[in-house]
Amino acid sequence: MKTRAAVLRDVGQPFEITELELDEPKAGEVLIRFVAAGLCHSDEHLRHGDIVPRFPIVGGHEGAGIIERVGPGVTRLQPGDHVICSFLPVCGHCRWCSTGKSNLCDMGATILDGMLADGTYRFHDEQGTDYGGMCMLGTFSERAVISENSAVKVDPDLPLDKVVLIGCGVPTGWGSAVHAAATEAGDTIVIYGIGGIGINSVQGAALAGARNVVAVDPLPNKREAAEQLGATHSCETAEEAHELIQELTRGVGADKAIITVGVVDAKVVGDAVNTIRKGGVAVITGLADPTKTNIELNSAMLTLFEKTVKGSLFGSGDPFHDIPKMVELYQSGDLKLDELITQTYTLDQVNQGYQDLVDGKNIRGVVLFDTPPLEGAPA
Amino acid sequence: MTAGTQPHPVIGLRREREVLTVALRTNRHVVLEGPPGTGKSTLLRAIAADVGQEVVFVEGNAELTPARLIGQYDPAAVLAGGYVPESFTDGPLLTAMRGSGLLYLEELNRIPEETLNVLITVLTEGEITVPRLGHVRAAAGFRLIAAMNPFDAIGTARVGQAIADRMCRVVLGYQDAAGERSITGAVTGAPADLTALAVRLVRATREHRDVRMGSSVRGAIDLVLLLGGLLEMRGLTGLADDGARETTRDAAYAALSGRIRIADGVERTAEAVIDDLLAEIWPEGGPPPAEEPPPGDGGEPGKAEGPPAADQQAGPESASSLRRDRRSGGARRQTGRREMAARHESFDEVSPEVGEFDEEAFSALMAQDADAAAALLTDLALATDRELRAAAQRVAARVFVQVGRVGRTRTRGTRRLVADRRGDGDLDLDRTLDRWDPGRALAPEDLVTRTWTGARRAVCLAVDTSGSMTGLGVAIAAVAAAGVVLTADERLQTSVLTFGAQVDVVQRHGQRRAPEDLVQHLVTLRGHGMTDLAAALRAVRGQLLPAVADERVAVLLSDCLHTTGDPPETALGGIDRLHVLCPLPTPEAEEAARALAARGGGTAEMVRSIRDLGPALTRLLG
């Protein structure tokens, strides 16, 4: 079967929209027709070279769609099911899955190569070259074959073009505040960088009962969005935020800091660690080049003030638990999704979408597909 | 435009001028409609002067009686010479008719309908019959030009179809920036930088999100004159001097703060908005704003072609009101299909599949069990399923308005002038002469006057959205609001607000909001929190107070059990009559409702089913 997809062939190259051959689903796999795909910063990291995957790769790791076929042995899904893709697969029985840390599932080891669990690829071109799917998904494609471990079934009345954000950005940001930072009622939380992740850290911190939610971003549209979604204060610079938090906390400092900037560097981590209180926590959610050393901290300050610096992947939650929970929070009005979507694009406009993201125009951009269903498959 | 062909220059408005000129030439009657300060009067005077016709001006207002428009017998002359034509003093209408002039009626939609009805035969037949005077025919060339603000402005009513059908309508909007600069410059003779600054500020007031109605170009004219004068008084030579910005602010406060109307529910002063705008146009410490370049196309300054955009006035659907809605409805909960199926037996019949709304099945349910249908419909109106939600909101708007309409069975007739012994209003010469025995001196009690009947009512519905407002309760609120709004006419003005612990005015007095639109708003409300009845009643009074009405009626849709704030009995001031609609009453609520209604001089109606509402509203307001 053919599918049109946006692929990356090398560092620094734009997405190329091309037609690929897509295999049938093998054991434990499903064929999904994507309805929507979110433009998340991580794909831009691959394109830009901050993080280098195996090329060529079909972009996109935030997706929602409808299952059209299932391979042998698939028990959790059937054709016609509506699903949100989890950008990390969850096998359910590795050490991490069986101890409530399924965001660290061992199956996630190959998400940057993008082959499926059996080590083979489902996307190919005419020359027979294998294409990976970003995060074992490749949601910038009309269709894909993915592991059933990557798809969380949801009610069919949900708007997939909105809940698609629950595939990566929303739980990552929300969980950074709720799980990783463990925001408690009355906390003062500072969030550096209000993009697709940071805005959801704002929502999470506000919902968890933070007294002060301080959003830091140089762009006024981002600060406005943060205030609309629950930030109590917003600052243009880290210095301004530091001073404000000193005032707000009578010199104690923020309880927790969450770093969700585009590329994490020494300055922002230093700012965060300086701004948190004794015994406070700085959560690093933003990415950076995994092959380089990029931060430097004074260890005595960590020792003497018992500060913690920790990383957080996928909001440190369990995708098969957190994704349905966030759907319900969306329905109860506690989690805003519609308000996050600044702009929608077609598959052909993916590069434009990422230009808008880099230019700071979007809180979130979403690609919408209108691929007709396969003949005989449920609509 | 050249002075040779246009002895009375009007800046811009070319299209409107042409239409109006042709309308007059072809003997059409015309109504000019536009916000204040868009040049209606200027335009009319210019055209009338060009055609060399006399113009008789009448300022329309709620107290304009037929006699004041037509003319009346002079009592002294009647006493001396009897009812002879010489004793009759022509009013503006007869003056214009006999003198082949233009009758210019300003503020047409503030004139009572009975007075307007005088014009019906004048407009079509060109004649009028005046009691005791006889037939008066209009001389050739008589025409009526009326001007009015858009309907939504406070204090205006809709002009009846009988009048509207006899006139052409020309819509005027604000002119473009270049046009307004030319007008301001022409009137004030001020330097270009002053007029440019004033026009920018004034135009910005119309765009500001917190402003319902911005300033007209009159504000720019006043601003330029005040600013010029203040600069001179303070010894400044121009906008570049130190202190010029403060001077501009002082002048802008005086010239604009009274002219702009802050949007509903925004707690800001006009001065704060002016500060905002000034900061944007002229940042503190910065240089005065540069003059805007003249439009590059070199076209005639003036209004852009075509009628003004409909959204220039911030109605209920304006961006700023939507922002407010989103804030107040911030925690709006949606309901998934599974939950609705568990809650409503007939859910599967009405919505068998995702995105489907079976209107026939719903109609059948409505006929069989209206309350169950209404409760289901309000849940569907907040479904997670988008298509279903949209369909349900559409159907709710239609169905609930239909149910609410049942209430209007009696007609209330139109406002009438009746004899009055209190001495208010116009002298009724006939009746006074009948009563008076010329053999003795005229005593005050012999005077009979005519005044409007005391049946103009202002009604404000306050909907309790606290506590358990779900399902049927929501439906009852929506139907009640639709019912009240539907009873509105020229003798009954309405407003609607919702309250829990806070009050939210959803239809302001004097502002129109379609019943369908109100229903759509109300079906998405869900109740929670405390009940502050006293605050609601005070807000009701705020809506009723500015109304021109003889009776101010509050209708309270509530269980009347207040849980916060002052006791409701203490907040009845300014309300002539308080009726209560008690939805789904418990014995305790019924007792409270009856007691409160009794204190308010009204009645309490128990609403046990959605079908009770129509008859109840008819009894209260019919």
Per-residue pLDDT of B279-308, as tens digits, reads: 888 888 778 877 654 444 434 444 444 444
Nearest chain B residue to A338, by CA: B326
Q: How confident is the model at residue B421 (pLDDT cuts 50, 70, 90)?
A: low
Task: Write out residues 264-323 of A within 8 Å (CB-CB) of B.
Answer: none
CATH number for the segment(s) A176-313: 3.40.50.720
User: What mean pLDDT, rounded, does chain A reach?
Assistant: 95
CA distance B334 to chain A (A): 5
Same fold, B14-171 and B177-281: no
Output the pLDDT for position B315: 37
Residue B212 confidence (pLDDT) above 80? no
**What CATH number does domain B337-409+455-621 carry, 3.40.50.920, 1.20.210.10, 3.40.50.410, 3.50.50.60?**
3.40.50.410
This model's pTM is above 0.80: no
| Topology, domain B177-281 | Helicase, Ruva Protein; domain 3 (1.10.8)
Task: Write out residues 138-157 of A within 8 Å (CB-CB) of B.
Answer: 155-157
Nearest chain A residue to B351, by CA: A157
Pairing of strands B211-213, B261-262: antiparallel
Mutate one of A66, A81, A157, A161 to test the B interface: name it (highest B CB count within 10 A).
A157
Output the pLDDT for position B294: 45
What pairs with residue B605 in β-bridges? B581
CA distance B323 to chain A (A): 10
Output the pLDDT for position B291: 63
What is the residue type of B155? Answer: G
Residue A82 confidence (pLDDT) above 60? yes
Task: Please tell me which residue, B185 or A131, carries the higher pLDDT value.
Answer: A131
CA distances from B233 to A247, B195, B396 (A): 45, 19, 62
Query: For residue B355, which residues of chain A lie inside 8 Å, CB to CB?
Result: 157
Residues 6 or more apart in contact with residue B405 via CB below 8 angstroms: B482, B483, B486, B614
Residues 6 or more apart in contact with residue A228 via CB below 8 angstroms: A339
Residue contact A331–B386, C-beta within 8 A: no
Active site residues of A: 40, 42, 45, 61, 168
C-alpha span between B444 and B306 (Å, rounded): 58
Output the pLDDT for position B68: 87
Q: Is the dihedral of CA B268, A203, A246, A284 positive or negative?
A: negative
Residue contact B383–A157, C-beta within 8 A: yes
Q: How confident is the model at residue B582 (pLDDT cuts 50, 70, 90)?
A: very high
Task: Please tell me which residue, B242 or A60, carries the higher pLDDT value.
Answer: A60
| Tokens at B528, concatenated | 């929670």
Q: Could you give phi then psi for residue A225, rounded to 5 degrees?
A: -60, -40
Q: What percent of chain B has pLDDT over 90?
A: 15
pLDDT single digits (tens) A302-351:
999 999 999 999 999 999 999 999 999 999 989 999 999 999 999 999 99
Q: How confident is the model at residue B34 (pLDDT cuts 50, 70, 90)?
A: confident
Q: How confident is the model at residue B339 (pLDDT cuts 50, 70, 90)?
A: confident
Residues 6 or more apart in contact with residue B273 via CB below 8 angstroms: B205, B208, B210, B211, B260, B262
Q: How confident is the model at residue B416 (pLDDT cuts 50, 70, 90)?
A: low
User: What 8-state DSSP symbol labels residue A178?
Assistant: I
Residue contact B336–A156, C-beta within 8 A: no
Query: For residue B383, which residues of chain A lie inside 8 Å, CB to CB?
Result: 157
Residue B243 confidence (pLDDT) above 70? yes
Which residue of B332, B336, B337 is in closest CB contact with A333? B332
Residue contact A155–B337, C-beta within 8 A: yes
pLDDT average, residue stretch B299-321:
39
User: What mean pLDDT, rounded, does chain B reach?
Assistant: 80
Output the pLDDT for position B431: 74
Judge whether A368 is closer than 8 Å to chain B, CB to CB: no
Output the pLDDT for position A129: 96
Q: Where do you find CATH 3.90.180.10 in chain A? A: 2-167+337-368
CB B190 within 8 A of CB B221: no
Three-state DSSP at B119 gives: helix
Q: Where do you find CATH 3.40.50.720 in chain A? A: 176-313
Residue contact B386–A332, C-beta within 8 A: no
pLDDT single digits (tens) A262-287:
899 999 999 999 999 999 999 999 99
Lowest mean pLDDT across A149-163, A179-193, A230-244, B118-132: B118-132
Residue B546 confidence (pLDDT) above 50? yes
Lowest mean pLDDT across A279-283, B71-75, B139-143, B159-163: B159-163
Task: Please tell me which residue, B214 or A38, carries the higher pLDDT value.
Answer: A38
Output the pLDDT for position B415: 52
Q: How confident is the model at residue B483 (pLDDT cuts 50, 70, 90)?
A: confident
Domain positions in chain B: 14-171, 177-281, 337-409+455-621, 417-452
Q: How confident is the model at residue B148 (pLDDT cuts 50, 70, 90)?
A: confident
CB B146 within 8 A of CB B169: no
Output the pLDDT for position B348: 92
User: What 8-state DSSP symbol labels residue B311?
Assistant: G
**What CATH number does domain A2-167+337-368 carry, 3.90.180.10, 2.60.15.10, 3.20.20.110, 2.40.50.140?**
3.90.180.10
Output the pLDDT for position A293: 94
CA distance A317 to chain B (A): 24
Nearest chain A residue to B340, by CA: A157
C-alpha span between B539 and A147 (Å, rounded): 59
User: Residue B219, CB half-sphere, CA atoms under 13 Å: how many?
Assistant: 28
Neighbours of A320 (CB within 10 A): 18
Q: How confident is the model at residue B108 (pLDDT cuts 50, 70, 90)?
A: confident
Residue contact B331–A156, C-beta within 8 A: no
Output the pLDDT for position B580: 93
Q: Which of B190, B253, B177 is nearest to B221 (CA)?
A: B190
pLDDT single digits (tens) B71-82:
888 888 888 888
Which residue of B326, B330, B385 is in closest CB contact with A157? B385
The most distant pair of C-alpha atoms in chain B lies apart, rounded to whole Å, by 89
Q: For B14-171, give the CATH class.
A: alpha beta
Judge whether A334 is closer than 8 Å to chain B, CB to CB: yes
Per-residue b/e over B332-371, b at no fewer than 16 CB within 10 Å? eebbbbebbeeebebbeebbeebeebbeebbeebbeeebb
Query: For residue A155, which residues of chain B lie inside 8 Å, CB to CB?
Result: 336-338, 384
Q: How confident is the model at residue B320 (pLDDT cuts 50, 70, 90)?
A: very low
Mutate one of B209, B322, B323, B334 to test the A interface: name it (highest A CB count within 10 A).
B334
Nearest chain A residue to B385, by CA: A157
User: What 8-state DSSP symbol labels residue A348?
Assistant: G
CA distance B336 to chain A (A): 7
Output the pLDDT for position B7: 44
Residue contact A331–B384, C-beta within 8 A: yes
Judge whether A338 is closer than 8 Å to chain B, CB to CB: no
Residue contact B337–A331, C-beta within 8 A: no
Residue contact B333–A158, C-beta within 8 A: no
| Tokens at B524, concatenated | 């998405």
Residue A76 confidence (pLDDT) above 80? yes
pLDDT single digits (tens) A90-115:
999 999 999 999 999 999 999 999 99
Nearest chain A residue to B337, by CA: A157
Residue B314 confidence (pLDDT) above 50? no
Task: Please tell me which residue, B178 or B409, carries the higher pLDDT value.
Answer: B178
C-alpha span between B568 and B127 (Å, rounded): 56
Q: How confident is the model at residue B52 (pLDDT cuts 50, 70, 90)?
A: confident
Hey, what's the torsion of the CAs at A214, A217, A221, A224, to 10 degrees? 10
Pairing of strands A16-22, A2-8: antiparallel
C-alpha span between A137 and A3 (Å, rounded): 14
Q: Which of A43, A340, A35 is nearest to A171 (CA)?
A: A340
C-alpha span between A13 and A11 (Å, rounded): 6
Query: For residue B333, which residues of chain A lie inside 8 Å, CB to CB?
Result: 331-333
pLDDT average, residue stretch A177-189:
97
Task: Please tell me which residue, B141 or A115, carries the higher pLDDT value.
Answer: A115
Residue by residue, DSSP assigns A108-149 as GGGTTT---TTS--SEE-TT--EEEEGGGT--SBSEEEEEGG
Residue B87 confidence (pLDDT) above 70? yes
Q: How confident is the model at residue B525 (pLDDT cuts 50, 70, 90)?
A: confident
Q: How confident is the model at residue B8 (pLDDT cuts 50, 70, 90)?
A: low
Q: Which residues of B touch A (CB under 8 A)?
A: 326, 330-338, 354-355, 383-386, 388
Lowest mean pLDDT across A17-31, A35-49, B298-312, B421-435: B298-312
